[in-house]
């Protein structure tokens, strides 16, 4: 059975839990990181001191987007893993854009408001990062003008990294621009039971 290491409140772990539930892939999740710390055995598999790491019948892999692509290719061909090469390239593009552009800006807001004591928060950085996040999300909003999901009419792996980020964007107590197309896409995600189960949980 597939083993996923990482606490369920980790956004990067949630990507894999959401994907596996969408595809009906059984897995065992083992707590790691955060309050659970790291065991020596875990660090031998993944020396980066981050989660997730997966073990698929002896094949060990880390880096959440790499794990997501692997699982989608193995279990979700024609669903999470688009068979059309150009559609799959678009999914890849937006997965990486989430990491390098959206989450890079949203992370200081999330960590500042959720994981930092109130008296230690850098509110200037939080407000600045929230404003920057809203600005870059204009790119996504324009992309979604004629699409139900990231790659078109169908839900794919491309929706998953951005899906966890946009939940935090709406859940955080910040000012944000009203992006209509993102809002409509987010509403569609909220209808998915796997999204409700793994992503729409209290932020920690």
Q: Two tokens at 92?
A: 């890849």
* pLDDT score at 192: 98
Q: 199, 202, 204: which is closest to 13 by C-alpha?
A: 199
* pLDDT score at 142: 98
Q: CATH number, domain at 172?
A: 1.20.1050.10
Range(s) of the domain holding residue 126: 85-195
Per-10-residue mean pLDDT for the chain, 204 residues long?
A: 97 98 98 96 97 98 98 98 97 98 97 96 97 98 98 97 98 96 98 98 94
Q: What is the pTM of this model?
A: 0.96
Q: Two tokens at 103?
A: 């989450």
Q: Is residue 95 part of a domain?
A: yes
Q: Is residue 201 part of a domain?
A: no
Q: What is the count of structural domains for the chain?
A: 2
Q: Is residue 203 part of a domain?
A: no
Question: Do 89 and 71 share a domain, yes or no?
Answer: no
């Amino acid at each position: 059975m597939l083993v996923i290491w990482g606490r369920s409140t980790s956004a990067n772990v949630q990507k894999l839990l959401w994907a596996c539930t969408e595809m009906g892939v059984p897995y065992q999740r083992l707590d790691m990181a955060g309050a659970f710390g790291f065991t020596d055995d875990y660090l031998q598999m993944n020396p980066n001191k981050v989660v997730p790491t997966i073990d698929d019948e002896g094949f060990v892999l880390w880096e959440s987007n790499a794990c997501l692509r692997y699982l989608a290719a193995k279990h979700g061909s024609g669903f999470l893993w688009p068979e059309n090469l150009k559609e799959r390239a678009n999914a890849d593009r937006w997965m990486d854009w989430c990491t390098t552009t959206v989450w890079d800006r949203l992370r200081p807001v999330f960590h500042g408001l959720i994981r930092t004591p109130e008296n230690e928060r850098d509110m200037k950085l939080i407000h600045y990062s929230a404003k920057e996040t809203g600005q870059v999300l204009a790119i996504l909003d324009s992309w979604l003008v004629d699409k139900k999901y990231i790659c078109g009419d169908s839900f794919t792996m491309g929706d998953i990294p951005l899906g966890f980020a946009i939940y935090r964007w709406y859940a955080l107590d910040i000012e944000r621009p009203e992006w209509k197309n993102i809002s409509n896409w987010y509403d569609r995600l909220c209808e998915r039971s796997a999204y409700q189960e793994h992503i729409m949980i209290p932020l920690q």
